[in-house]
């Protein structure tokens, strides 16, 4: 019962460094997404994907890249970390069904600090 797995759980980066947050799901979900959570802001969508080879931008995409080479994996890359990217990051996945109401499953979060 792995569900959505994110790594690492905690990371400290220096300004300008790059890193990749990993996300994997074992439920054969078509839809995967990345959110960031900031105090008083709720969760905001960074990027999403509706299937392998297809990605698109969400509400706050600047400074982040994604790719979706397989159904299972959806890594989030920070190319040059900035203190403004200090946040908690959540990966999520779901089936795509007409009519809405799909349950979206979240990973446990990755706490990132950029100093």
Partner 1 sequence: GNSVTQMEGPVTLSEEAFLTINCTYTATGYPSLFWYVQYPGEGLQLLLKATKADDKGSNKGFEATYRKETTSFHLEKGSVQVSDSAVYFCALIRGGSEKLVFGKGMKLTVNP
- The reply to whether 7 sits near partner 1 by the rule CB under 8 A is no
Nearer to partner 1, 13 or 32 (CB): 32
Mind giving me the DSSP string for 57-69?
E-SS-TTEEE--S
Pairing of strands 10-13, 110-114: parallel
- The reply to whether 79 sits near partner 1 by the rule CB under 8 A is no
Given 58, 61, 63, 75, the residue binding partner 1 (CB under 8 A): 58
Question: 113 forms bridges with which residues in the sheet?
Answer: 12
User: How far is residue 104's CA from residue 95's CA, in Å, rounded to a whole number?
Assistant: 8
CB of 96 to partner 1, least distance (A): 6
Given 43, 60, 75, 86, the residue binding partner 1 (CB under 8 A): 43
- The reply to whether 62 sits near partner 1 by the rule CB under 8 A is no
- The reply to whether 50 sits near partner 1 by the rule CB under 8 A is yes
Among 82, 76, 58, residue whose Cα is nearest residue 7: 76
- The reply to whether 33 sits near partner 1 by the rule CB under 8 A is yes
User: How far is residue 10's CA from residue 103's CA, in Å, rounded to a whole number?
Assistant: 26
Given 16, 96, 113, 115, the residue binding partner 1 (CB under 8 A): 96
Instruction: List the structure tokens of 51.
Output: 């299937």
Nearer to partner 1, 17 or 75 (CB): 75
């Amino acid at each position: 019962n792995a569900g959505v797995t994110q790594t690492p759980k905690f990371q400290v980066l220096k300004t300008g460094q790059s890193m990749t947050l990993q996300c994997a799901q074992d439920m054969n979900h078509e839809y995967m997404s990345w959110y960031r959570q900031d105090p008083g802001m709720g969760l905001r969508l960074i990027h999403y994907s509706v299937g392998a080879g297809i990605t698109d931008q969400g509400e706050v995409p600047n400074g982040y890249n994604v790719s979706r080479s397989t159904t299972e994996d959806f890594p989030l890359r920070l190319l040059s970390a900035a203190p403004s990217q200090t946040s908690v990051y959540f990966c999520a996945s779901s089936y795509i069904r007409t009519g809405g109401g799909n349950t979206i499953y979240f990973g446990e979060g990755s706490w990132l600090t950029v100093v």
